[in-house]
Chains A and B, each alone.
Chain A
Amino acid sequence: MDPLELVGAEPGSARSILFDGRAVAALPGQTLAAALWADGVVAWRVTRVGGRPRGAFCGIGQCFDCLATVNGRPNQRLCLVPAEDGDVVTTQEGHGHGELAV
């Protein structure tokens, strides 16, 4: 049994996103976080103080642990952002705004 089987899901054909340069399949209607979980990926952020890996924790947009850079925009909550074909997701380093440093 898997989740799709449980609810009798018949999704359309998968989309493709790029995660740190690697193609990952995303079913239509899944968030980016869900697509990454389905691919076995549970971390896509590195914390700004301790440099530790993080990913989705609360799954409902409350904890902000699942932040990553999507199509160049940092600090996107992957548990809320629907996966679109061609999305480029990059593991976010710290605050994600390194380019602003003076």
Chain B
Amino acid sequence: MLKRTSYDVVVIGAGVVGAACAYYAARAGLRVAVVDRGPVAGGTTGAGEGNLLVSDKEPGPELDLALLSTELWRELADSLGEQVEYEAKGGLVVASGAAGLDALNRFAVEQRRVGVEAVAVDGAELRELEPHLAEGLPGGVLYPQDAQVQPALAAAQLLRASGADRYLGEAVTALRRGADGSIAGVVTERRELAAPAVVNAAGTWGGAVAELAGVRLPVLPRRGFVLVTEPLPRVVRRKVYAADYVADVASGSADLQSSAVVEGTPAGPVLIGASRERVGFDRTLRVEVLRRLAAQAVALFPVLGTVAVQRAYRGFRPYLPDHLPAIGQDVRVPGLYHACGHEGAGIGLAPATGLLIGRQLAGEDVGFDLSPFRPERFEGADEGSAGSGPGAE
């Protein structure tokens, strides 16, 4: 028999975004449950590197969200810092040639206008900042606001701190609706949870949860691989990446993009991240993807060439056609909120997403323009636009 329990809100998804939604909703005084078909951090969160980046974002709504999140992560670090391995290490974006450096500096000028700290760095300073960087690089930009957390710990600790009831390992099978069509609760494989509000924080599977509510949200997967080296001393101090990364993040192409993001971790291994492919949920390894990441990392840090790659892991970033997440109340279904589609920036954007969702849930003034993130913005859009063909975006 199904057990029945009542909450103010049920969050679907125990990744970092769901955990942050639970955390801020609970702080707003709401009684919260979190449901996930898998464990905590079982999806994209557990396959991430923990990037909290402003450096890779152009001025616009996502950067605004990232700047707010940067502040919130700093606050959270006061209580959870060590438990989530928070490091305010800064990011260093490196250009490979003069033209690239010009473009990078122009990008930084725009970013500074909206509050990003960005410090131009010449070739000599690069090697002072990162002694193992390859010789002959013309320069780059240092972003002191970039930071890092261990993503699975971040999700688990936020979830614990929220005090929310956890229902893990239970898939949501249906959403209950009232006579007026508004949300009334969630049905899982094992129980029914009554609640007037549901937050869809199901990440890559957010489209499927939206479908349970009868609405369309075209979340799709973008595959990524991360290489992990053997444990090392601090060899790389910051998050270091090539300027091409910014173009890759924004790219609409289905083809493989990769530009190594290289960073150390408190535990020792160096992470080399950021391949991007649109291949659906195909898990098949492509050695060429790993090869490119490895080659780019060695190009940045030749000293890593003799170091062993101990393992690699893959994940699927949830993206929406315009590369912005869906955040906020869905006008099509009263009581339904979305917090998904953060692509590769979910760890960084989680606190801001959670805070704003929490305010909406509590009926407070949101104090932030959520209109670019409206979940129903794809309504009426050509179905094909969610696909991977040319001109998709």
Give a binary string over A82-99; 1 marks a CB under 8 Å from any B CB, 0 the rest.
000000000000110110
B237 at the interface (CB under 8 A from A): yes
Which of A75, A97, A98, A101: most chain B CB closer than 10 A?
A97
Interface residues of B in 214-260 (CB under 8 A from A): 230-237
Contact: B231 with A102, CB < 8 Å? no
Contact: A102 with B234, CB < 8 Å? yes
Bound complex: CA A102 to CA B132 (Å): 8
Contact: A95 with B232, CB < 8 Å? yes
Bound complex: CA A86 to CA B130 (Å): 37
Bound complex: CA A59 to CA B75 (Å): 49
Give a binary string over B207-219; 1 marks a CB under 8 Å from any A CB, 0 the rest.
0000000000000
A100 at the interface (CB under 8 A from B): yes
Bound complex: CA A102 to CA B191 (Å): 53
Chain A neighbourhood of B236, CB < 8 A: 102
Contact: B232 with A100, CB < 8 Å? yes
Bound complex: CA A98 to CA B268 (Å): 12
* Cβ distance A67 to chain B, nearest Cβ, rounded Å: 10
Contact: B233 with A95, CB < 8 Å? yes
Chain B neighbourhood of A101, CB < 8 A: 233-235
Size class of the B contact interface (CB-based, 8 Å): 10 to 19
Whether A100 touches B132, Cβ cut-off 8 Å, given contacts A48-B231, A95-B233, is yes
* Cβ distance B82 to chain A, nearest Cβ, rounded Å: 16
Which of A75, A95, A100, A101: most chain B CB closer than 10 A?
A100
Give a binary string over A49-62; 1 marks a CB under 8 Å from any B CB, 0 the rest.
00000000000000
Pick the residue among B131, B237, B268, B307 that contacts A48 (CB under 8 A): B268
Chain A neighbourhood of B295, CB < 8 A: none
Give a binary string over B318-349; 1 marks a CB under 8 Å from any A CB, 0 the rest.
00000000000000000000000000000000
Contact: B308 with A97, CB < 8 Å? no
Pick the residue among B230, B233, B308 that contacts A98 (CB under 8 A): B233
Whether A95 touches B268, Cβ cut-off 8 Å, given contacts A75-B308, A100-B132, is yes
Secondary structure at the A interface, as helix, strand, loop or mixed, is loop
Which of B233, B268, B307, B308: most chain A CB closer than 10 A?
B233
Chain B neighbourhood of A94, CB < 8 A: 231
* Cβ distance B104 to chain A, nearest Cβ, rounded Å: 23
Chain B neighbourhood of A98, CB < 8 A: 233
Bound complex: CA A75 to CA B230 (Å): 9
Bound complex: CA A101 to CA B132 (Å): 10
* Cβ distance A70 to chain B, nearest Cβ, rounded Å: 14
Contact: B235 with A100, CB < 8 Å? yes
B103 at the interface (CB under 8 A from A): no
Bound complex: CA A102 to CA B231 (Å): 15
Give a binary string over B290-307; 1 marks a CB under 8 Å from any A CB, 0 the rest.
000000000000010001
* Cβ distance B5 to chain A, nearest Cβ, rounded Å: 42
Bound complex: CA A97 to CA B307 (Å): 9
Q: Which residue of B lies closest to A48 (CB)?
A: B231
Pick the residue among B230, B237, B268, B307 that contacts A102 (CB under 8 A): B237
* Cβ distance B148 to chain A, nearest Cβ, rounded Å: 17
Bound complex: CA A83 to CA B307 (Å): 23
Contact: A97 with B237, CB < 8 Å? no
Pick the residue among A75, A95, A97, A102 that contacts B131 (CB under 8 A): A102
* Cβ distance A64 to chain B, nearest Cβ, rounded Å: 9
Chain B neighbourhood of A100, CB < 8 A: 132, 232-233, 235, 303
Pick the residue among B130, B132, B230, B303 that contacts A95 (CB under 8 A): B230
Q: Which residue of B lies closest to A101 (CB)?
A: B233
Bound complex: CA A95 to CA B307 (Å): 11
Contact: A102 with B308, CB < 8 Å? no
Bound complex: CA A35 to CA B237 (Å): 40
Chain B neighbourhood of A102, CB < 8 A: 130-132, 233-237
Q: Which residue of B lies closest to A67 (CB)?
A: B230
Measuring CB to CB, which residues of chain A are less than 8 angstroms from any residue of chain B? 48, 75, 94-95, 97-98, 100-102
Q: Could you write out 28 A-B pairs with CB less than 8 Å apart? A: A48-B231, A48-B268, A75-B230, A94-B231, A95-B230, A95-B231, A95-B232, A95-B233, A95-B268, A97-B232, A97-B233, A97-B235, A98-B233, A100-B132, A100-B232, A100-B233, A100-B235, A100-B303, A101-B233, A101-B235, A102-B130, A102-B131, A102-B132, A102-B233, A102-B234, A102-B235, A102-B236, A102-B237
Which 6 residue pairs across A and B have the least CB separation, nearest first?
A101-B233, A95-B231, A102-B131, A100-B235, A97-B232, A100-B233
